[in-house]
Amino acid sequence: MIMIKNIIALILLCCTIQLTAQSDKTFVVKGNSINHDNIPTNGKLDISKISVVNVSNKAIFLEWETVSNTFPKGWDCSMCQHGACQIGIPKGSIFKQLNPDQEGYIAIHVMPQNNIGNGQVKFKIYDRDHPDFFEIITFNVDAL
């Protein structure tokens, strides 16, 4: 009986920690965290964008990392984050400061260079000061 009580207490404790962690989150994805785009092989994906918003009451700095990138080798692509545009898709970087309620984003640009194929790039975004909480955003692109 004591053991069952301990297990229940442990479960309650875990739930409390989880809820506390949830309530501590400083940003959320605005809208869908997965984008799908189809483009002609001789065309351009001008922009595919996923936004996040600062839901805390103070300024935050979001960092991001590329989790995976399966875009075909022949594709030419790059990305922008809130505050800077990168050449190609690097391993990671940091957003410019996001004030309370302010939106930031990650966006990608693709030119398939006449190469048929599809690919996916995933980014992990996390608060520099609360790295345990993160969001994964995904861009799927088909060049037909």
**Residue 43 CB: number of other CB atoms within 10 A?**
14
Smallest separation (angstroms) from another protein to the CB of 127: 21
Smallest separation (angstroms) from another protein to the CB of 129: 22
Task: Looking at residues 11 to 70 of the shown chain, list those that interact with another protein (rule: CB under 8 A).
Answer: 46-47
Which position has the token pair 């000061």? 129
Q: Which stretch binds another protein (CB under 8 A): 3-11, 61-69, 73-81, 135-143?
A: 73-81
**Residue 38 in tokens:** 């189809």
Main-chain dihedrals φ then ψ at residue 7, nearest 5 degrees: -65, -45
**Residue 64 CB: number of other CB atoms within 10 A?**
24
Q: Which stretch binds another protein (CB under 8 A): 8-16, 29-37, 51-59, 107-115?
A: 107-115
Q: Please state, in angstroms and rounded to a whole number, the distance separating the CA atoms of residues 38 and 36.
A: 7
Q: Mapping DSSP to helix (H, G, I), strand (E, B) and coil, where does residue 27 land? A: strand
Q: Is 115 in the site for another protein (CB under 8 A)?
A: no
Smallest separation (angstroms) from another protein to the CB of 10: 48
Q: Is 84 in the site for another protein (CB under 8 A)?
A: yes
Which position has the token pair 């975004």? 125
Q: Is 88 in the site for another protein (CB under 8 A)?
A: yes
Interface residue list for another protein (CB under 8 A): 46-47, 76-78, 80, 83-89, 107, 109-111
